Amino acid sequence: MRPPLPGVLASLPQPIIMLAPMAGVTDWVFRQLVQRYSAPSMVVSEMIASQSMVRQIKKTMLRHCQEGENIAVQLAGNDPEIMAEAARLSVDKGACLIDINMGCPVKKIAINSYAGSALMKDLPLAAKIFRAIVKAVPVPVTVKIRKGWDDQHQNALDMVHIAQQEGLAYVTVHGRTRTQLFSGRADWDFIDALQDAVDFPIIANGDIVTPEDAARVIARTSGVMIGRGSYGKPWLLGQIRHFLDTGQHKAAPSLSEQKTITSDHFQNLLTYYGTQQGLLIARKHLSWYSKGLPGASDFRMQVFQESEPTAILDHINRLYDGAIESYLVDSDAKEILQDTALAACS
Ligand SMILES: Cc1cc2nc3c(=O)[nH]c(=O)nc-3n(C[C@H](O)[C@H](O)[C@H](O)COP(=O)(O)O)c2cc1C
């Protein structure tokens, strides 16, 4: 029996399927697509530096939740009072959940700023941050951690106990240590054992990229969080939900729908960020969308060299039209072969 989830989380279909916070990826534009093609799923903002949130820095506000969004906002920092203030401001702006980043491994955050995964080495400070934020906001508060700092210091269980004592709603665990960064495989057995050890919701994260992966992990935990698997597939969380509910696979959108999704994503990025910055951000998304399609490597080269939005839209159209055509030729060929085989049998 899974421990129940509070607040907005209880109103979502269980088990919870969540989009991971990914700086530079899960911005408002991508979140909108996930909300549309994978509804109802929980989405989390990119990591927000608490200090910048309190100072209302323009760039930070662009990464925050936007008008009408009902999402979790993830805060990073190490000062309990500043983080509590950032949490209050986030809820005023519409956040329905505050997630605390205690898993980020990058040097700028974990070493230079003593935040993110560095807080796994300072449990008393982590506890103070939890207490201050829980006291400050009326919405569920959660934390995202790793297994520990390194193989010798795998203290996720201690962190979970503290989170439970301080009134957090759940803990998300990325099944790697800080020193692993993104190398090796995420350790799902570790997450299973953690969930078995506590009567408290654990959300599993790391290397969950297919509906079958999610079914494997969800067998023991309260939910899954999907990061890189959603690259170029804002519909993946919806496919996972369908598989968990029915045991059946849900097809990806048709190629012509994917053409529309890709073009809309591209145009919305330019509108949201302005052409120059939008183009830079769009390139990585376009290359993820093109993965596996015929002509993808030429497409990527063209898109990386081109700075004229209409020319890029033409490349997108050509990529998908070519893919649709080769799919049709392929299925015609299959039908002809089938007819020939049937004729040979008759
Ligand atoms: C580009 C990128 C940006 C990320 N940014 C964040 C972040 O802002 N906050 C956070 O807690 N984790 C961040 N992560 C980690 C992911 O949330 C997730 O824990 C990790 O990618 C493992 O899950 P996955 O295998 O499903 O991708 C980031 C990961 C990537 C690849």
Task: Flag whether 120 is in a domain.
Answer: yes
pLDDT of residue 346: 46
Looking at the fold, whether 293 and 179 belong to one and the same domain comes out as no
Which is more confidently placed, 32 or 70?
32
- 312 shares a domain with 222: no
- In this structure, are 77 and 151 located in the same domain? yes
- Out of 199, 223, 246, pick the residue that ends a domain: 246
Using the mean position of ligand 1's atoms as its centre, give its distance from the Cα of residue 227 in Å: 6
61 three-class SS: helix
Residues 48 and 154 in one domain: yes
328: confidence class by pLDDT, cuts 50, 70, 90 = confident
Q: Which one from 65, 96, 104, 345 is the annotated catalytic residue?
A: 104
146 and 263 in a single domain? The answer is no
Q: Is residue 176 part of a domain?
A: yes
Residue 112's DSSP bridge partners are none
Look at residues 204, 224, 246 and tell me which one is the last residue of a structural domain: 246
Q: Which two tokens stand for residue 62?
A: 């662009």
Six token digits for residue 312: 């890029």
Residues 198 and 333 in one domain: no
Look at ligand 1, atom 19, and give the residue with the nearest C-alpha.
174
Q: 155 and 262 share a domain?
A: no
**Ligand 1 centroid vs 21 CA: distance in angstroms?**
6
pLDDT digits (tens, 9 = 90+) for 208-260: 999 999 999 999 999 999 999 999 999 999 999 999 999 999 999 999 999 99
- The answer to whether residue 182 sits within a structural domain is yes
Cα of 143 vs its chain's centroid, Å: 15
Specify whether the CB–CB gap between 43 and 29 falls below 8 A.
no
Of 266, 262, 272, the C-alpha closest to 233 is 262
User: How many Å apart are CA 182 and CA 189, to the nearest integer?
Assistant: 17
We report the CATH number of the domain holding residue 96 as 3.20.20.70
Per-residue pLDDT band at 282 (split at 50, 70, 90)? very high
With cut-offs at 50, 70 and 90, classify the pLDDT of residue 41: confident
Look at residue 272 and tell me if it is in a domain: yes
**Does 192 reside within a domain?**
yes
- Annotation says 104 is catalytic: yes
**Full DSSP string of 59-115:** HHHHHS--TT---EEEEE-S-HHHHHHHHHHHHHTT-SEEEEEE----HHHHTSSS-
25 within domain boundaries:
yes
Same-domain pairing of 226 and 270: no
> 19 C-alpha vs ligand 1 centroid, how far in Å?
10
Distance separating alpha carbons of residues 26 and 285, to the nearest angstrom:
11
> Which residue's CA lies nearest to atom 13 of ligand 1?
22
Average pLDDT over all residues of the chain: 94
User: For residue 327, is it within any domain?
Assistant: yes
Ligand 1: residue of 18, 22, 208 to mutate (most ligand atoms within 8 A of CB) is 22
Quick check: 230 and 236 in contact, CB under 8 A?
yes
Domain membership flag for residue 2: no
Question: Which ligand 1 atom is the nearest neighbour of the CA of 186?
Answer: 25
Looking at ligand 1, which residue's alpha carbon is closest to its atom 30? 22
Tokens 């063209």 belong to residue: 302
* Containing structural domain, residue 73: 7-246
List beta partners, residue 225: 18, 205
Q: Are residues 148 and 280 in the same domain?
A: no
Q: What pLDDT is attached to residue 338?
A: 64
Which residues make beta-bridge pairs with 209?
Answer: none
- How confident is the model at residue 5, as a pLDDT? 81
Task: Give yes or no: residues 219 and 94 share one domain.
Answer: yes
Let me know whether 134 and 197 are in one domain. Answer: yes
Give the DSSP H or E segment for 197: helix 188-197
Decide which of 246, 267, 282 is a domain's last residue.
Answer: 246
Question: What is the pTM (predicted TM-score) of this model?
Answer: 0.94
Give me the pLDDT at residue 339, please.
63
Q: Which helix (H) or strand (E) holds 141?
A: strand 141-146
| 301 and 234 housed in the same domain | no
Specify the number of domains making up the chain: 2
